[in-house]
C-alpha cells in the first residue's frame, strides 16, 4: 500500500493512479478514498493523475486518539501534497472533505493549487447559530454522535438511505451501494469518527472561504438531506470570490454515486476550462 508518515508519526494511506495534471480528492465522513472511485477511474482515463487519501482514523490510515481535528486534517493533506510534490493541482472535496479542502486553502494557501471543487460540502457552517439561522440544530449532531457510539454498524446502514436519497418516492435502493457505504464506515476507528463529527458540524469555514483565490466550482443537490444546500452550497458561493454554483435538481448528498456520469462530465469540463 502507498502511504506517507506525518510529522506526528501517523501513517496515511493514499492511492495514486494515472499520469498528467494532478487531481486530489478528499472524502466525506465516515467514508474513505474508495468513495471517489467512479471519478478517479473516469478522470484517470482522460489523462489526469488522480490521488485520494484516507483521512486519519478513516479507511486504511492509522486510527488515532489525537489529531482528529480540521487543523491536523489540513496539515496531513499538506504533507501528502508536499511528499508527492503536487503542483497545478485541482482539489476536490465532498462533504467533510469539502471542509478539509477549504481549510487547507485557508491554512496553507493556493501556491500549489490551480482550481478547487466543493461537492455537497459542509462549509461555511452546518450548525445553527444566531449568525447562521439556516443551519441545523446541535441536537441533530448530538443524535449522530449517539447513533455512532451506541451502534455504528446499524447507524451507518440506516444513514445510507437518506445519504443517497433512497427514501424518496420512486427511488430504487441499491443494496450494493449501501453495503459499500457501510463497509467504508466500519473500516475507520470509532474514536476518530466521533471526533470528526464536531469538525464537520461546528467548525466555521467562513474565513477559509474568503481566502480562496483560485477558480472554484460548487456542486450541490437541492434535495440534500444531510447538508442542506441553502446553508452550505449557496452560502459558500456567495463568500468565495467568483465561485460558480451548479445545482443538481433532486440530487441527494451522495451524488458522486447517484449522479456519477453528470458529476464526471462537470468535473472534466471545469478542469479543462
Active site residues: 95, 224, 253
Could you tell me if 105 and 211 are in contact, meaning their C-beta atoms sit under 8 angstroms apart? Answer: yes
Q: Is 146 exposed, middle or buried (0-12, 13-18, 19+ CB in 10 A)?
A: exposed
Nearest-angstrom CA–CA distance, 132 and 111: 31
Tell me which residue has cell 448528498: 253
- Which grid coordinates belong to 66? 489525537
- Which grid coordinates belong to 54? 484516507
Q: Residue 131: how many CB atoms within 10 A of its CB? A: 9
Could you tell me if 84 and 105 are in contact, meaning their C-beta atoms sit under 8 angstroms apart? Answer: no
Q: Which of 193, 96, 200 is nearest to 147 (CA)?
A: 193
Could you tell me if 260 and 38 are in contact, meaning their C-beta atoms sit under 8 angstroms apart? Answer: yes
Q: Torsions phi, psi of 158, nearest 5?
A: -70, -40
Amino acid at each position: 500500500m502507498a502511504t506517507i508518515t506525518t510529522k506526528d508519526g501517523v501513517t496515511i494511506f493514499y492511492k495514486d493512479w494515472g499520469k498528467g495534471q494532478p487531481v486530489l480528492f478528499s472524502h466525506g465522513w465516515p467514508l474513505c478514498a474508495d468513495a471517489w472511485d467512479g471519478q478517479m477511474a473516469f478522470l484517470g482515463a482522460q489523462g489526469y493523475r488522480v490521488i485520494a487519501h484516507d483521512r486519519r482514523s478513516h479507511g486504511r490510515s492509522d486510527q488515532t486518539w489525537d489529531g482528529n481535528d480540521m487543523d491536523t486534517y489540513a496539515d496531513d493533506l499538506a504533507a501528502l501534497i508536499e511528499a508527492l510534490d503536487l503542483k497545478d493541482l485541482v482539489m476536490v472535496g465532498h462533504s467533510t472533505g469539502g471542509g478539509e479542502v477549504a481549510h487547507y486553502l485557508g491554512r496553507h494557501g493556493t501556491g500549489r493549487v490551480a482550481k478547487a471543487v466543493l461537492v455537497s460540502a459542509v462549509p461555511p457552517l452546518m450548525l445553527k447559530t444566531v449568525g447562521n439561522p439556516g443551519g441545523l440544530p446541535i441536537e441533530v449532531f448530538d443524535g449522530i454522535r449517539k447513533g455512532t457510539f451506541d451502534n455504528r454498524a446499524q447507524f451507518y446502514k440506516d444513514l445510507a438511505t437518506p445519504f443517497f436519497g433512497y427514501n424518496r418516492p420512486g427511488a430504487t435502493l441499491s443494496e450494493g451501494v449501501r453495503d459499500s457505504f457501510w463497509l467504508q464506515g466500519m473500516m475507520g476507528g470509532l474514536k476518530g469518527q466521533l471526533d470528526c463529527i464536531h469538525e464537520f458540524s461546528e467548525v466555521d469555514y467562513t474565513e477559509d472561504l474568503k481566502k480562496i483565490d483560485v477558480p472554484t466550482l460548487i456542486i450541490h443537490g437541492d434535495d440534500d438531506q444531510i447538508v442542506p444546500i441553502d446553508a452550505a452550497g449557496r452560502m459558500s458561493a456567495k463568500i468565495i470570490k467568483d465561485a460558480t454554483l451548479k445545482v443538481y435538481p433532486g440530487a441527494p448528498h451522495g451524488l458522486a454515486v447517484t449522479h456519477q456520469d453528470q458529476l464526471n462530465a462537470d468535473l472534466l469540463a471545469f478542469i479543462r476550462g
